[in-house]
């Protein structure tokens, strides 16, 4: 059994956006159209723009502009919904599919409640 806890930064989310895009649209033709702020654009065109980015240095806004939507570079907390610089990525010990990303504030709240419950 491994401990399924890791820290995920916003930069990590930006760095893996290309892989996540490829996985999302695997099996679709490159001319498959997706919505882009009220417009439609081919996934292959967006893929080329993502490949042109330096994902180690570009900003979240650069990713948003390349894709045409926001959220792909978001590092959101599954408890409060905040987009934060770092989250704890928690993985269920028996399932790779059962995961949760939690911001430091929610982790601190959970810990405080656990401590208060045993006093």
pLDDT in tens, 70-113: 899 999 999 999 999 999 999 887 777 788 999 999 999 999 99
Domain around 63: 10-67
User: Cα separation of 68 and 72, whole Å?
Assistant: 10
| Nearest Cα residue to 72 out of 113, 32, 118, 36 | 36
Does residue 29 lie in a domain region?
yes
Predicted local confidence at residue 55, as pLDDT: 97
b/e per residue 83-95 (b: at least 16 CB within 10 A): bbeebbbbbeeee
What three-state secondary structure class fits 83? strand
Instruction: Determine, yes or no, domain membership for 48.
Output: yes
Is 17 part of any domain? Answer: yes
Predicted TM-score (pTM) of this structure: 0.84
């Amino acid at each position: 059994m491994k401990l399924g806890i890791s820290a995920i930064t916003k930069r990590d989310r930006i760095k893996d956006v290309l892989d996540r895009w490829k996985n999302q649209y695997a099996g679709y033709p490159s001319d498959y159209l997706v919505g882009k702020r009220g417009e439609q654009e081919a996934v292959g065109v967006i893929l080329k723009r993502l490949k042109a980015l330096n994902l180690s240095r570009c900003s979240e806004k650069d990713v948003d502009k390349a894709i045409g939507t926001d959220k792909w570079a978001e590092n959101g907390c599954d408890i409060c919904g905040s987009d934060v610089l770092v989250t704890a990525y928690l993985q269920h010990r028996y399932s790779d599919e059962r995961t949760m990303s939690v911001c430091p504030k929610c982790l601190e709240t959970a810990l405080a409640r656990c401590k208060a419950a045993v006093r």
